[in-house]
Amino acid sequence: MAKKTVRDMAVEGKRVLVRVDFNVPLDMKTGVITDDSRIRAALPTIRYLVEHKAKVILCSHLGRPDGKVVEKLQMQPVAQRLSQLMNLPVATVPDCIGDAAEKAVNALKDGDILLLENIRFHAEEKANAPAFAQALAKLADIYVDDAFGTAHRAHASTVGVTRYLPAVAGFLMEKELEALGSILTNPEHPFAALLGGAKVSDKISLIQNILEKVDLILIGGGMAATFLKAQGYEVGASLVEADKQTLAYELAETAKRNRASLLLPTDVVVASNITAEATGEVVPIANIPPSKYIVDIGPETIELFSQQIRGCRTVFWNGPMGVYEIPQFAQGTKAMVELLAGLKATTIVGGGSTAEIVEEMNLSYRMTHVSTGGGASLTFLEGKTLPGVAVLLDKK
């Protein structure tokens, strides 16, 4: 069901509470933001509200303060960066509810921007406590959710406030739902899913939900070890989810019945340990040494995956192909990013570490869509309802 957006609301002169996802990575020694992509992703909604003379009240979490005030996780650096990007002043306040917050909101003029303090300084946020949600809602006339990355959480600032305010989607939320929804409802074929990451268990529901929709599934990363083991290969010292082997085998068989190809690596990079000093060795999957770990896909697999993906019209990618944090084990992942960046196809990148890799390589602009939500994008593509989306007003 399509959701109402900020376009559907009369916002001039209104106090508009916007849930944004400003959970940006910080250098904890200097307090410097190392990647501002989540701030930039929210700019269209904020600019729209400013231009339409709303009083803009932003709220977000930052890090994991666990319900306590943590000085290094205060929102001041985020406000400064947002001010630079907007070329407008952004006010801050030492709390997100209560007298100080109410006074700061009352001082706002049309078109002004206020960033509330980290909402997770209050344990009641994650608990979705009604009194906390009501205190947040008291600050505003309208609620806008533009934080897709937190939409899979039923927190006070994503679900609770909607009991007290009319709630609509921001432009980023709208964009995420349209982009991810398109590959579930109307993908252009051939449609490939490129999946990596550490665990099969993280992707089982996703694979099950898209098996009937895809033409091709390509498996890399640590999760490939469980699939290879299920096919009878020895995978050395690599992590295998023993309780998922049977399911991995069944998923491969189901793919065959659905006339979808499920491709596993044909060669891999292995190493004696997973450290920055380790050296890798390329071996066929039939010759993985018993004491070594799979740390990346090999060159033959890179070529195989590339040949298959080049013929696709839609590609969804989530999860690195190897231990990306260690440069010598990042070649498979980088090759896939470069491949997708050069495709004349719809390319959708799941959030989390996958999005961070694309941003780090400065190739996000070459993708059709890079999601800002890791867990949220997976939950959505698993076919599950996102609590933060379900509570927004429907178009009809």
* Domain locations along the chain: 6-175, 187-381
Question: Mean per-residue pLDDT for 344-359?
Answer: 91
Cβ–Cβ under 8 Å, residues 270 and 280? yes
> Which range among 278-282, 306-310, 371-375 shows the weakest confidence by mean pLDDT?
371-375
What's the Cα-to-Cα distance from 276 to each of 34, 280, 293, 296, rounded to whole Å?
A: 22, 11, 14, 14
Helices 43-51/171-185 angle, 10° precision: 130
By CB neighbour count within 10 A (0-12 exposed, 13-18 middle, 19+ buried), where does 247 fall?
A: middle
Which residue reads 């050296």 in tokens? 279
> Which range among 162-166, 218-222, 255-259, 296-300 shows the weakest confidence by mean pLDDT?
255-259
Cβ–Cβ under 8 Å, residues 295 and 323? yes
* Residue 256: predicted pLDDT: 84
Q: What is the pLDDT of residues 6-23, one digit of tens each?
A: 999 999 999 999 999 999
Point out the residues that are catalytic: 38, 199, 352, 375
Could you tell me the two tokens for 6?
């900020």
Confidence of residue 201 (pLDDT cuts 50, 70, 90): confident
Say what the pTM is.
0.91
| CATH T-level assignment (fold) for domain 6-175 | Rossmann fold (3.40.50)
Q: What is the pLDDT of residues 243-272, one digit of tens each?
A: 988 988 888 888 888 888 999 999 999 999
Question: Mean per-residue pLDDT for 77-98?
Answer: 97
* Residue 374: predicted pLDDT: 84
Could you tell me the two tokens for 45?
């909604």
The 8-class DSSP code of residue 151 comes to T
Question: Mean per-residue pLDDT for 177-197?
Answer: 94
Confidence of residue 300 (pLDDT cuts 50, 70, 90): very high
**pLDDT higher than 90, residue 396:** no
Cβ–Cβ under 8 Å, residues 38 and 372? yes
Question: Mean per-residue pLDDT for 289-304?
Answer: 97
Chain centroid to CA 368: 15
Q: How many CB atoms lie within 10 A of CB 369?
A: 20
Please compute, for residue 224, the number of CA atoms within 13 A of its CA located in the half-sphere on the CB side.
33
Torsion (CA) 88, 144, 160, 377 in degrees, nearest 10: -100
Average pLDDT, the chain: 95
- pLDDT: is 353 or 341 the higher one? 341
Give the percent of the chain with pLDDT over 90.
85
**pLDDT higher than 80, residue 115:** yes
According to CATH, the superfamily of the domain at 187-381 is: Phosphoglycerate kinase, N-terminal domain (3.40.50.1260)
> Which range among 22-31, 231-240, 333-342 shows the weakest confidence by mean pLDDT?
22-31
Confidence of residue 1 (pLDDT cuts 50, 70, 90): low
End-to-end CA distance of the chain: 8
| The 167-169 sheet, strands edge to edge | 91-92, 113-115, 55-59, 15-19, 142-145, 167-169
Q: Do domains 6-175 and 187-381 have the same CATH topology?
A: yes
